[in-house]
Amino acid sequence: MAALIIAGKKAYEEWVLGKMDHRSDELFLMSSIWSPVAVIGLYLYFVKCVGPRHMKNRPAYELNGVMKAYNLTQILCSVYMLLYSLKAGWAFKYKWLCEPVDYSFTASSIDVVRCVWTYMMIKLLDLVDTVFFVLRKKAAHTSFLHVYHHAIVFFGAWCCTKYVPGGHGTFIGPVNAFVHIVMYTYYFVTATWPEYRKSLWWKKYITQLQLAQFLIVTLHSSTVLFMDDSCKYPKPLAAFLAVQNGFMFILFAEFYVKSYRRKIK
């Protein structure tokens, strides 16, 4: 037992602590891996325990004004993220098939670190979606798909900021930002002018856009796996991104079939 504990401690120090990129240490939530673990723990505890218990004998909160402000904030954050990620690499500098991570201390590489951290902070803001669902007693919306997606994306964004802040895997940044601009614009319009909720035809196409996002990122991440050693982006990480986004594609496809295809039939 003692040998197992020592081996675990050594692995933790070598792989978790030893592989960290310390250029992000001064940024919010980036000083320790226990920061995102605590955030996700509190998120799950509220969503599955505290929130439902609090709302059990209470009427749903309206939150109309808060929801409008939140959706508008998400639109502005997504526009900023899209422009920032394009400026930092994907519009002018990065190669599409394979882009290694720049671990130097140049101004451009530090800017990329901050760009990836900004993406992580937006994923932190995304967790508020679930809080609103709980307070509005939308229990059907707090599904495994929703909760898993939000939790794993936030933790993955933290890991990318801490270990691989830049390079090939950041392609999801501009793609996801564009999808969120469309998605939260729909939410903002329907929250501000609820009379248009029935007439807006593009709700199901938002899910199709999300499916396209996961498929594109899966294929883009997979290109690294078929390249020789000249591609310096870590293949295990590329494989994880491909598998994770492929898994999300399957989950969202199942949701799409249940929500739209079966209703049509």
Q: Which residue has the tokens 């039939």?
A: 265
Q: Indicate if 141 belongs to the active site.
A: no
- 3-class SS at 197? coil
Sign of CA dihedral 115, 120, 124, 129: positive
Structure tokens at 221: 């991440």
Q: Where are the alpha helices (DSSP H) in the chain?
A: 2-11, 34-45, 51-55, 64-85, 107-126, 128-135, 144-163, 172-192, 203-222, 235-256, 262-264
Choose, from 54, 141, 149, 180, the residue flagged as catalytic. 149
Q: Say how far apart CA 256 and CA 67 lie, in whole Å.
A: 24
264 Cβ contact list (under 8 Å, min separation 6) = none
Cβ atoms 241, 164 nearer than 8 A: no
Q: Say how far apart CA 201 and CA 83 lie, in whole Å.
A: 28
Structure tokens at 108: 């451009």
Catalytic positions, written as ranges: 149
